[in-house]
Amino acid sequence: MVRRQIGSKERLFFVEPTRPGAIYPCSIDDIATLLRHCTAEELATFDFIVLRQRTRKQDILAPAWARAHFAFDIDRYSGTAILIEAQSLVSLAWSNHVTVEQERELARLQSDGHLITRSRRKVELTPNVPAMRNTVLFRSMLFEIGNHIDFARTGPDEWQRRPASQKKDFAHRHASECYQRLSRAGHVPFAAIIDAASLAQDGLRREWFAFEEPA
C-alpha cells in the first residue's frame, strides 16, 4: 500500500508485483500527477487505485487496460476502485471481422502510438511503452473515472439497466473532454515520472514499471 496526497485527501494505492515480462505502463506518481488536475466530482467518485497483476488465464479470457469497480475489497479496505492492469509488450491479434466499435478503438489505439497492421486473416496490434502509457494514463484512467461518474449519477439500479454501449459512450466522451480540458490548461501530456528514491521508499521495484520517456 502506497499513500499520496491529492488535494485535501490522502489517496491509497495498492500495488501487486508483476510477473516476468509484465509491467505497469505508468507509475504511481504519474497517476497522482494526473489526478491532482481532476475536478472534485471526478475525485469523489472512487476511493483507491489498484495496480493489479492478473493471472495468465485472466489475460486470455478478459484482457483490459483498466477497470472500474464499484464494490472492491482489498486487505481490510472496501470501496470503489480503479484497477490498472499490468501489461506485456507481446503483440495482440484481433479477428479481421471487427465491429464498428472495435474500429473506433483501433483508431484510438493507433492515435495513442500503437502499431496497427492488417492482413487478410487478422488485425495485429504491436504495443510499445510510450503508447501503452498514453493508453492507460491519458485515456483509460479518464475513461474509468467517467464510468464512476456515470455510476454515481445514475445509481446502481439504473446503471444495471442501461445498455453497455450507452455506458461506453459516456465514458469515452468524458475521457475525451477531460483530456482536452487538461491539455488546454497545459497539464497533459507530461513526461514519465520514475523516481528511484520514491520507489525504494514505497517498497516498490523499478522493473514493475515502464520507464521509457513518451514519444
The whole-angstrom separation of Cα 208 and Cα 80 is 24
How remote is the C-alpha of 70 from its chain's centroid?
A: 16
DSSP labels, 123-147: EEEE--HHHHHHHIIIIIHHHHHHH
Q: What is the pLDDT of residue 210?
A: 84
154 vs 160: CA distance, rounded Å: 10
Condensed to tens digits (0 to 9), the pLDDT of residues 8-33 reads 899 999 999 999 999 999 999 999 99
- Other beta carbons less than 10 A from residue 52's beta carbon: 19
| pLDDT tens, residue by residue, 51-107 | 999 887 777 767 899 999 999 999 899 999 999 999 999 998 888 888 999 999 999
